[in-house]
């Protein structure tokens, strides 16, 4: 077992709305091991981005605790978070919106170095930026360009280079390649994996795309309506998903290997509103195995003998 870099306990984020409280994140327990790539998959609106924002403390949690490298950071002020922000980078979905259109690539990448006091002397700063560009497969000449002069893939490489610049321990990636063509996606994912191994980084990916999570994750989590329903080593979940929602989600995706398809559960019905989640297990209205107990009693998030955790009364 490696050591835990980030942990959350019973984390919640509820937003006020005219209809009532939106329970976007509703009691999440999660541990991310150092050096691993954690991939969280879940349908649109299940609370993935909110979870990241709360873990980064860009949003205040409604309840629960957050620990980074063994230190509780739940109550940290904005100022106290500043030093820690260097350790936690972020890559966003839309590289175009994430980059300041009036800054050159050099300015974009060197800015966090300056802010965190990591910029070497003048000439050396250029070398630092060039090294970062090269690590993402870009060239020196890209330094003087503005974002609008770059392709979507190049912009996302800049977004990653900027996140790598301050040498964080952990990088959150929110749908990092959703806006890009498949061939460009593959290249960027390879560069990310190379950077992770060379720099001993920990990744936290979120996506609605199982195929992306399948490629990038060592450990996989499945989120449904503000909660995590199953977590475990990727192979374990892909070979033998347990939670009925995980089974439904995986069987809805074309399986690259035809001898190995999970066609057990078809997801029917709509995802209920996070304002009024169903009582008991919140998946019960869509679950073919639901019984009376599932309609009243919320299942515990239990660890099984094989090392996975699952929240379902069947296990």
Ligand X SMILES: Nc1ncnc2c1ncn2[C@@H]1O[C@H](COP(=O)(O)OP(=O)(O)OP(=O)(O)O)[C@@H](O)[C@H]1O
Instruction: Establish if 276 lies at the interface with ligand X (CB under 6 A).
Output: no
Does position 49 interact with Mg ion (CB under 5 A)? The reply is: yes
For residue 217, give the DSSP letter. Answer: -
Please, what is the minimum distance in Å from the beta carbon of residue 221 to Mg ion?
15
Smallest separation, CB 174 to Mg ion (Å)? 6
Which entry of ligand X, Mg ion, none binds 27, CB below 5 to 8 A by partner kind?
none
Residue 16 pairs in a beta bridge with 21
**By C-beta, is 47 or 248 nearer to ligand X?**
47
DSSP 59-120: S--SEEEEEETTEE-TT--HHHHHHHHTTEEEE-S-HHHHS-TTS-HHHHHHHHHHHTT---
156 binds ligand X (CB under 6 A): no
Site track 8-47 with ligand X (rule: CB under 6 A), x = hit: -------x-x----x-x-----------------x-xxxx
- In total, the chain counts a number of residues equal to 315
**Angle between helix 122-135 and helix 152-165 axes, rounded to 10 deg:** 130
Query: What is the spatial distance between Cα 284 and Cα 78, in angstroms, rounded to a whole number?
Result: 39
For position 108 contacting ligand X by CB under 6 A, the verdict is: no
Partner whose binding site includes residue 35, from Mg ion, ligand X, none (CB under 5 to 8 Å by kind): none
SS3 7: strand
Could you give the CA distance from residue 171 to residue 159 in angstroms, rounded to a whole number? 12
Site for ligand X contains 289 (CB under 6 A): no
Shortest CB 139 distance to ligand X, Å: 33
Per CB under 6 A, residues contacting ligand X are 15, 17, 22, 24, 42, 44-50, 208, 274
């Amino acid at each position: 077992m490696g050591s835990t870099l980030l942990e959350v306990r019973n984390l919640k984020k509820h937003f006020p709305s005219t209809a009532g409280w939106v329970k976007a994140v509703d009691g999440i327990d999660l541990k991310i091991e150092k050096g691993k790539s954690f991939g969280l998959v879940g349908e649109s609106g299940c609370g993935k981005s909110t979870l990241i924002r709360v873990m980064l403390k860009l949003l205040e949690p409604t309840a629960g605790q957050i620990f980074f490298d063994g230190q509780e950071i739940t109550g940290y002020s904005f100022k106290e978070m500043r030093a820690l922000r260097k350790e936690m980078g972020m890559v966003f979905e839309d590289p175009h919106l994430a980059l300041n259109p009036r800054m050159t690539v050099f300015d974009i990448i060197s800015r966090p170095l300056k802010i965190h006091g990591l910029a070497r002397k003048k000439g050396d700063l250029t070398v630092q930026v060039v090294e970062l560009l090269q690590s993402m497969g870009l060239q020196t000449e890209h330094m003087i360009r503005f974002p609008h002069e770059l392709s979507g893939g190049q912009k996302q490489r800049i977004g990653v280079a900027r996140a790598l610049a301050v040498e964080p321990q952990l990088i959150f990636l929110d749908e990092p390649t959703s806006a890009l063509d498949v061939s460009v996606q593959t290249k960027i994912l390879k560069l990310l994996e190379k950077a992770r191994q060379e720099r001993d980084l920990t990744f936290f990916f979120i996506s609605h795309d199982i195929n992306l999570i399948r490629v990038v994750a060592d450990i996989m989590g499945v989120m449904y309506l503000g909660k995590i329903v199953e977590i475990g080593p990727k192979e374990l979940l892909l070979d033998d998903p347990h939670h009925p929602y995980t089974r439904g989600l995986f069987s809805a995706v074309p399986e690259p290997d035809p001898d190995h398809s999970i066609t057990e559960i078809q997801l029917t019905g709509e995802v209920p509103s996070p304002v009024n989640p169903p009582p008991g297990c919140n998946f019960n209205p869509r679950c073919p195995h639901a019984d009376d107990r599932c309609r009243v009693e919320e299942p515990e998030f239990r660890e099984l003998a094989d090392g996975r955790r699952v929240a379902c009364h069947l296990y």
